Amino acid sequence: MDCLFCAIVAGDIPSRGVYADDTAYAFLDINPWHRGHTVLVPRRHVADLLEQPEGLGEIAPAINATGRLLVDRLGAQGLNLLSNAGAVAGQEVFHLHVHLIPRYADRPGMAGLMQRESDIDLDEVYRQLVAG
Ligand code: AMP
Ligand code: ZN
């Protein structure tokens, strides 16, 4: 099967991993909406939440741990969780994933959620997350 996130989980495509356990893997989104925007996936291939709603339960502990890590290490004041299910909902990669989006007081509110920042240095964010 040709799946980008399966290839990332397998290590065949490089990623900036910020959290991993037996069932889930979380890595920095390559095109972040906010500093620390992270994608979290189950290791096994599940297309989306509509195909297997229970897939979310499997990765719930990893979502909790990754959310805590992002807020603590990046000094975020809030966090958005989002999972797009189906092309009509904006899903582009058809391997179940949750977006964890740290939020900061200088750009608050839902209206600013998806406005991408072009000047985020992913390597610098990665160092701050993995080195603490
Ligand atoms: P969605 O639209 O919910 O399917 O989101 C897919 C997300 O995956 C987008 O936010 C992309 O920026 C992100 N993405 C795509 N390719 C990569 C990659 N190689 N590494 C990290 N994130 C990626
Ligand atoms: Zn997959």
**All domains of the chain in start order, with CATH:** 4-131 (3.30.428.10)
Ligand nearest to the CA of 1: 2
Alpha helices in the chain (DSSP H): 4-10, 55-74, 122-131
Pocket of ligand 1 (CB under 6 A): 4, 13, 15, 27, 29-31, 39, 84, 90-93
Q: What is the distance in A from the centroid of ligand 2 to the CA of 100? A: 19
Query: CA torsion 106→110→115→120, rounded to 10°?
Result: 50
What's the pLDDT score for residue 35?
96
Which residues does the annotation mark as catalytic? 97
Mean pLDDT of the chain: 94
Closest by CA to 26, choosing from 34, 36, 38, is: 38
Read off the pTM: 0.96
Least confident of 67-71, 75-79, 105-109: 105-109
What's the pLDDT score for residue 1?
73
Q: Residue 104 CB: number of other CB atoms within 10 A?
A: 15
**Pairwise CA distance, residues 2 & 113, whole Å:** 30
Atom of ligand 1 nearest to the CA of 84: 3
